[in-house]
């Protein structure tokens, strides 16, 4: 996608450009402007999820819940089959005069296995789509960026975006009220 590689005066490759905001409202409205300017490779970093930020950024709804549902139901079904095969086919255990394969008795474990694998899918899926774990990231090298985990709100537009231009992008963030605008090195 990226047509051009930008470098700083010292020759470092530029990852992107960051701007800092003071309040959720400021960063929310700035995000709307970046969205409307047509950027795609950019992100808003906030200490907590801000209500409605998906809309302000134009992020599509995640398909994660659908995946969790499909995996959960599949695993519940497999769990039922496992019990049916083990007790009903492979090792028929005569106990309490019950039929070998009795679906009613298999309900609790079917349910529990569905929940168990849904939970694994939820967390592993969340990490997978977020490309995590990723213990190295250019942003984490910036001193000011670390304050996002406290009370700062930041927008980062990546140099890899086709719309990126060092001057125009900086001007957009300045116009949106960004402070401490700075380049991030790869």
Interface of this chain with other proteins, residues 42 to 71, rule: CB under 8 A: 43-54, 56-57, 59, 62, 64-65, 68
Among 36, 27, 37, which Cα is nearest to 155's?
27
Q: Is 5 in the site for other proteins (CB under 8 A)?
A: no
Closest separation between CB of residue 141 and other proteins, Å? 8
Say how far apart CA 49 and CA 47 lie, in whole Å: 7
Sequence-distant (6+) residues with CB within 8 A of 180 are 18, 19, 20, 144
The bridge status of strand 14-21 relative to strand 153-158 is antiparallel
Closest separation between CB of residue 186 and other proteins, Å? 15
Q: Rounded to whole angstroms, what are the CA distances from 118 to 49, 112, 113, 121?
A: 23, 10, 8, 5
Q: Is 2 in the site for other proteins (CB under 8 A)?
A: no
Q: Are 158 and 45 in contact (CB under 8 A)?
A: no
State which of residues 2, 7, 8, 102 lies at the interface with other proteins (CB under 8 A).
Answer: 102
State which of residues 2, 7, 8, 23 lies at the interface with other proteins (CB under 8 A).
Answer: 23
Closest separation between CB of residue 7 and other proteins, Å? 18
x/- mask, other proteins, residues 115-144, rule CB under 8 A, reads: xx-xxx-xx-xxx-xx-xxxxxx-xx-xxx
Q: Is 7 in the site for other proteins (CB under 8 A)?
A: no
Q: Which is nearer to other proteins, 5 or 140 (CB)?
A: 140
């Amino acid at each position: 996608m990226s047509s051009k590689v930008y470098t700083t005066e010292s020759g470092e490759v530029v990852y992107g450009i960051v701007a800092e905001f003071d309040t959720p409202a400021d960063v929310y409205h700035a995000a709307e402007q970046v969205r409307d300017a047509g950027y795609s490779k950019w992100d808003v970093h906030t200490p907590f999820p801000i209500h409605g930020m998906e809309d302000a950024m134009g992020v599509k709804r995640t398909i994660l819940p659908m995946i969790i549902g499909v995996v959960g139901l599949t695993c519940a079904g497999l769990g039922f089959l496992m019990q049916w095969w083990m007790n009903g086919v492979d090792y028929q255990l005569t106990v309490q005069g019950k039929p070998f394969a009795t679906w009613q008795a298999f309900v609790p474990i079917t349910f529990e296995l569905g929940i168990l694998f849904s939970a694994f899918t939820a967390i592993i899926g969340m990490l997978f789509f977020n490309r995590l774990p990723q213990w190295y990231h250019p942003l984490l090298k910036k001193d000011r960026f670390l304050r996002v985990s406290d009370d700062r709100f930041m927008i980062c537009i990546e140099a890899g975006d086709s719309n990126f231009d060092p001057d125009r992008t900086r001007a957009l963030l300045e116009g949106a009220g960004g402070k401490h605008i700075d380049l991030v090195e790869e």
